[in-house]
Amino acid sequence: MPDPERRYRVEFADETKKELRDLGHVAAGEILAAVEKKLTVDPEGYGDPLRKDLSGYFKLAVGQWRVVYHVDDDLVLVLVLAVGKRAEGDRENIYDQITGDDLDARKQVLEGKLEIEPRNASEVKASPSASPTKPRGPGGRKKKKS
């Protein structure tokens, strides 16, 4: 049973915020309510671990939608990395749209923004296009200055 005093902080990747906006107010509201009710209390208990390429991540089912996230128990933190439709055979199926590498990149950028240092070298994939301390735009490109 989860500790009722322990509440997880939830942070959303920039891409996930855009995905929520694209879903519309009703769907986004349902998803945000489920995230607040479930992932702040017991993210591993309410979610299901993903497998294969998405191993290390969890999913939360909210109707036809899926919330894909990472749990850091040491920091009492949930990183929401993707939101999308679960429709097998549909080209909009979230699991056909996102790879483990995509999630790893979103996680790394979000951790950089939150100034979370990886605990060991195996948590950081060596890549010239991604840096844990410098957030990058889509495709690993440097963000343009406004």
Q: Report the Cα 102 to chain-centroid distance in Å.
A: 10
Model pLDDT for residues 85-142, shown as the tens digit of each residue:
987 766 678 888 888 999 999 999 999 898 887 655 444 333 333 333 333 344 444 4
At 9-40, the pLDDT tens digits run 999 999 999 999 999 999 999 999 999 999 99
Cβ neighbours, 10 Å, residue 134: 10
Tally of CB atoms within 10 A around 16: 22
Match domain 9-114 to its CATH number in 2.40.30.110, 3.40.50.11030, 3.30.2310.20, 3.40.50.920. Answer: 3.30.2310.20
